[in-house]
Amino acid sequence: MNWDKAMGLPSKSYKCGHCGESLSSAQGYLSKGSRNGQNVTDGYIYVCHSCKKPTFFDVYEGTQTPGPVIGNPVKHIPDADVEQLFNEAKSCYSISAYTSSVMCCRKLLMNISVAEGAKAGKGFADYVNYLNDNNYIPPNGKKWVDSIRKLGNEANHKIEFRTKEEAERILVFTEMLLRFIYEMSGIMMETESPETPTETE
């Protein structure tokens, strides 16, 4: 991507919501507006020099769109659908779509549980219990289990909007689980020598 007529701007440090890079950019565009009869700069678009994608900053609302990517990438996820849904959960969070983010994570946790041997067609809390009972949750993660279980309470089919804090909690939990189940075992396989020499006598 090559942005035409991008101008020099005051340098700004931010975490790019597209690629996750922390950077300082001084290239982009600005918006001139008026406020209380004064001409002011009310918005900036900065272009990330890593991925070349634009991020909008609203000066008066103090917001960044898309917001910074939450968490870190997880390696060795064997299932492309799981990886895509995890990225979607993070994308929802970055545009403040917290309820959607929580729904993606719930779906992910169910999916992971079934892939790891849980029976399909159960309730969300059953899957969290399954992961807990089968030692997929490391000891320091167990205190999370109750609070994550509560995010699955949909018994009355009411629409319940989720908060930023709730979305963040279930995302951090999901990332921890993906790292524990897939990334750690993937790294283990990488470090094991593919050809173990056999000793001959």
45 binds Zn ion (CB under 5 A): no
CA atoms within 13 A on the CB side of 88: 15
Strands 7-15 and 38-47 turn out to be unpaired
18 binds Zn ion (CB under 5 A): yes
Report whether 60 contacts 113 (CB < 8 A). Answer: no
Per CB under 5 A, the list member of 16, 82, 89, 103 interacting with Zn ion is: 16
Which of these segments, 12-20, 109-117, 128-136, 137-145, binds Zn ion (CB under 5 A)? Answer: 12-20
Residue number, 93 or 130, with CB nearest to Zn ion: 93
Least spacing, CB of residue 183 vs Zn ion, in Å = 23
Q: Is the peptide bond between 194 and the residue preceding it cis, with omega within 30 degrees of 0?
A: no
48 binds Zn ion (CB under 5 A): yes
12 binds Zn ion (CB under 5 A): no
Least spacing, CB of residue 138 vs Zn ion, in Å = 32
Rounded to whole angstroms, the Cα distance separating 8 from 26 reads: 6
Report whether 14 contacts 26 (CB < 8 A). Answer: no
Residue number, 18 or 122, with CB nearest to Zn ion: 18
Per CB under 5 A, the list member of 29, 30, 43, 50 interacting with Zn ion is: 50
19 binds Zn ion (CB under 5 A): yes
Least spacing, CB of residue 57 vs Zn ion, in Å = 14
Strand partners, 63: 58
122 binds Zn ion (CB under 5 A): no
In terms of phi and psi (left: phi > 0; alpha: psi -120 to 50; beta: otherwise), the region of 21 is beta
Strand partners, 39: 34
Q: Which residues bind Zn ion (CB under 5 A)?
A: 16, 18-19, 21, 48, 50-51
